[in-house]
Amino acid sequence: MAWSMSFEYDAPNDVVTAHFIDCVLSTEEDVLRWRREVEGHLARYAGSGKVDLLINLEGLVVRFTAGRVFGRERREVLERFTHRSYRFGGDEMTRMFVLTSGAINGAAVNHYATRDDALAALKAEREALRQRGSPFGGGFAGSKA
């Protein structure tokens, strides 16, 4: 299969889910391509605000040679386009880079076994923020969360 990614909006849960197919990041050029494509997709959903994002790591492979660059670019994309992000699935090497880059670059890790687990954690965070009166309880501006 060829490199592809898709993003879908789950209206009842007010969250965008990212899916990847054969997105193998081996070089800095691969990472920069990944970033451009992810930003293009997220810009359609975020508009002038930010989204809540679930990331299916299946199909996204981060090789050792791209790990450091991926960590930096991942953090910048998430800061620009998301309120919060949660991950699920993925191979062991990619999960390791997500965990390591999160620690090094101060990016969220939030990794779960399944989409349902990741969504439940996201909803729990929203509820905790709502109870504290935070304006970031929902995903999109004006959403019901």
Instruction: Tell me whether residue 113 is in a domain.
Output: yes
3-state secondary structure 69-97: HHHHHHHHHHHHHEEEEEEECCCHHHHHH
pLDDT band of residue 118 (cuts 50, 70, 90) is very high
Place of tokens 């965008």: 16
pTM of the entire structure?
A: 0.84
pLDDT band of residue 101 (cuts 50, 70, 90) is low
Count of domains for the chain:
1
pLDDT band of residue 30 (cuts 50, 70, 90) is very high
Instruction: Tell me whether residue 137 is in a domain.
Output: no
Q: Which two tokens stand for residue 112?
A: 């779960």
**pLDDT score, position 138:** 53
Instruction: Tell me whether residue 99 is in a domain.
Output: yes
What's 20's domain CATH number? 3.30.750.24
- Nearest-angstrom CA–CA distance, 29 and 111: 26
Domain enclosing residue 29, as ranges: 4-126
* Mean pLDDT, residues 95-121: 77
Instruction: Tell me whether residue 144 is in a domain.
Output: no
Instruction: Tell me whether residue 135 is in a domain.
Output: no
pLDDT band of residue 29 (cuts 50, 70, 90) is very high
Instruction: Tell me whether residue 131 is in a domain.
Output: no
**pLDDT score, position 92:** 79
Contact between residue 34 and residue 72 where contact means Cβ atoms under 8 Å apart: no
User: pLDDT of 40-52, one tens digit each?
Assistant: 999 999 787 899 9
Instruction: Tell me whether residue 18 is in a domain.
Output: yes
- Nearest-angstrom CA–CA distance, 66 and 31: 7
Instruction: Tell me whether residue 44 is in a domain.
Output: yes
Of the listed ranges 79-83, 89-93, 112-116, 123-127, the one predicted with least confidence: 89-93
